[in-house]
Amino acid sequence: MSMSARAGRWANIRGRCATRPKKNKTYRPHPPCFSITGADALFPACRLPDALFFRRNALFFTYADDLPPDAGFALYSPPHLAALALAAALCLSAVRRPLSERTSRALGLAILLSELLRMTVYAGMGCLNRFELPLHLCSLAVFLCALHSIRKPDWLGQTLYALCLPGACAALLFPDWVVYPFFSFISLHCFVSHTLIVLYIVSETTRGSIRPRLSALWKPMLFLCAAVPPVSLFNRHFGTNYMFLQLPSPGSPLVGLAQLSGGNPAGYLALLIAAVAGCMALMELPFALAHRRKP
């Protein structure tokens, strides 16, 4: 076929395509959804179908800003005591019969998945903002537990036992989510996640994967020195209170530290660090005494 014949053929094809009527495409609109709103949101708005979540007027999935007055539960009320009793029973069972290696890995993964579930539900509720990032000590413990279930370096075990275990226990004893109803997603998730963290650390310590030593106290202290400065800067820049470095949790012993400092933020932070260091030393003391008693 000559070049002129080929050119004529392609011109004929282009002419037929140009005269062919085009189909009008119709696009279905997105279903109604929640999005992360507010000027303080750190993430771009995401779209999540309403079918996955209850509406925001459902009290079970209601954020603190939208709760009615006196909707929360009281410290050491019957539901709170029941949650503490359940956590204590699980830990005692782990002391008597530690979890196997396979079960510990599954538990570490479950703790991580629970945190991902929390952030997903918060996004669906429209409250995933700068106040709900995983920067609290117990939120960091979630990732540390998941990492420890895979690899078990000594610094990680020492940090989990001396720093994260008392922090999770304090959160269960003096929860800062009392503004929520006990039977709400946020409240139940907080109790479950903190209980799982305590259960994992207690089981790993009993099983011998974590071996607390007073001589290794510098390892969790080093982790604390590495984590506190950036979190403190984030608190000052965005007006948050992660790790309770700015203000104490209401109803907790940290209130006494704030009163002792006379309202001085620097004094409160210094007392808080000293109290945490003393608590970590007390956590290591029983193992140090038991080691000395051995012949």
pLDDT of 289 above 90: no
Tally the domains of the chain: 1
In the numeric block, the tokens 């000395």 are attached to 292
Candidate ranges 56-60, 65-69, 128-132; pick with highest mean pLDDT: 128-132
DSSP 233: H
Torsion of Cα atoms, 229 then 160 then 154 then 104, to 10°: -140
pLDDT of 230 above 50: yes
Q: Is residue 84 part of a domain?
A: yes
Q: Is residue 38 part of a domain?
A: yes
Q: Is residue 188 part of a domain?
A: yes
pLDDT given at position 198: 97
pLDDT given at position 126: 85
Three-state secondary structure call for residue 151: coil
What confidence tens digit (pLDDT) does each residue in 155-205 have? 999 999 999 999 999 999 999 999 999 999 999 999 999 999 999 999 999
**8 Å CB contact between 125 and 35:** no
DSSP 33: E
pLDDT given at position 286: 86
β-pair type (33-34, 48-49): antiparallel
Domain of residue 138, residue span: 34-212
Q: Is residue 181 part of a domain?
A: yes
Q: How many CB atoms lie within 10 A of CB 191?
A: 22
Q: Is residue 257 part of a domain?
A: no
Q: Is residue 206 part of a domain?
A: yes
Q: Is residue 245 part of a domain?
A: no
Rounded to whole angstroms, how far apart are CA atoms 71 and 67? 7
pLDDT given at position 293: 67
pTM summary value:
0.80
Q: Is residue 183 part of a domain?
A: yes
